[in-house]
Amino acid sequence: MMKYRRLLCIGLTAVTTLSMIGCGKDTSVSYDPLTEEDDTIYTISVCQDADNDYYNTIALGFNDALTDLFGDSHIQVISTTADETTGTDSICTGYVNQNTQLIFANGEQSLSSASTATDTIPIVGAGVMDYPSALHLMTSNTDWNKKTGINVTGVSAEPDIEAQLSLLIEATPELTSVGLLYNPEDTDAIYQNALLEQYLDEAGIPWKEYAIPLDPQETTANHEVTDLLAVAPTKRVAASATEGPNNNVESFGENDLLNGIFSPNSAHVAAVSATWTPELSAANPGELASDASLEEIVQYACNECSSLFIPAGSELTNHLETIADIATASGTRTVGGDASLGQQTLVSLYSDPYAMGYAAGKLVYRILVNNDAPGDIKISTASAENVKLYNASRAEALGMTFPKSFSEINSFFETYEIGSTTTRISSADEDAANE
């Protein structure tokens, strides 16, 4: 065990070093608020996927950034939220016909519709986890320079994977292996798992994926996120995710990418790390049955793993209590990728969506005032604080205590104010005007 711990520390050092490369801030960007003498009025159109706390909080941060940088007298903001009668396609087409100066796409469907509607009007996205997939870019996140090369930029909803790795380690005193739970139709979960697996490999930690099929009505096609704590899920095959043998690669025909390599028929096969050993599987008498229930799959994973990870925005959310109950009874730690999952898991991370919206508002300023080309601006992540949370009832059941670097989830949200950790820009605060 000592040797394993030493290798783990070496691996984490390497991961941390790699993650720091290229993460320096660009201090050359100017965000000087517009003056009263400037009489320019900018028309900005907002398309939002749905009316819920998550997207509404992003919109709040976005509007506050516009107010701070442009001033209310310099902007005309038109905002429309998709519903049962009005879809994102018609909203974005209408904006293009009205010759708006910029479209803010709040959510993946909004981004996809906006990029389809125009290839000239600047587009800024937020609430989107996997931009290459949403924009059908022929690239992968492993070799992508984070620039779209088209009229689109934005802020990614991708969770801090390095922080999730640290959370896994801190929550599991004897971390021998990690189980990654996901629904096969949940492409954002597949994407997140693939990213985390790279970090686990660097740290020398064995991992294994466990697919938990759900009823089609429980997939993101019929699932709305209404919880502010969640990360909005998407329903699209991730271009950057590892795909299985059932790829339906056909001719694009009339440029319908969804019938080609991004086909929903593409499948991801549950994977296992190269460092997985037979000893880890010894607790299970055999392979899982193809028709195994959720409870059977989770118990099987608990027998093999000391910690279970559930990605942010997971479609397994409605089953988290069952999953966490089984894991807790087995002495297996559960780690949730967002704070909505943390209502049931032992630990989780919280990142305020407000920061994502505020960062997107700053991109609008760069495009409309500084005349930066959207395709040359890297897709970024918001500099929001990652708050480490633990669930007191789960911790008590496992006989665990957590240091002051963690907050108890229920106590934290009783006092937390949305947007309170985001540094806003004002003419009196020049230091905050540079990223």
Q: How far apart are CA 362 and CA 419, in angstroms?
A: 15
Q: How far apart are CA 375 and CA 309, in angstroms?
A: 34
132 and 230 in a common domain: no
* Structural domain boundaries enclosing 102: 20-158+353-383
188 located within any domain: yes
187 and 128 in a common domain: no
Q: What is the pLDDT of residue 217?
A: 63
Rounded average pLDDT per 10-residue block, the chain, 435 residues: 41 44 52 84 97 94 96 94 95 96 96 96 95 82 82 94 94 95 91 94 96 74 49 45 40 38 57 95 90 96 97 93 98 95 96 96 96 96 91 97 96 95 70 41
346 located within any domain: yes
205 and 142 in a common domain: no
215 and 148 in a common domain: no
Q: What is the pLDDT of residue 299?
A: 97
CA 279 to chain centroid: 34
Domains contained in the chain, number? 2
283 and 293 in a common domain: yes
425 located within any domain: no
> Do 41 and 102 meet the contact criterion of CB atoms below 8 Å apart?
no
142 and 166 in a common domain: no
232 and 110 in a common domain: no
CATH, residue 343: 3.40.50.2300
Q: What is the pTM of this model?
A: 0.80
295 located within any domain: yes
120 located within any domain: yes
428 located within any domain: no
222 and 76 in a common domain: no
141 and 12 in a common domain: no
434 located within any domain: no
255 and 112 in a common domain: no
57 located within any domain: yes
150 and 246 in a common domain: no
363 and 335 in a common domain: no
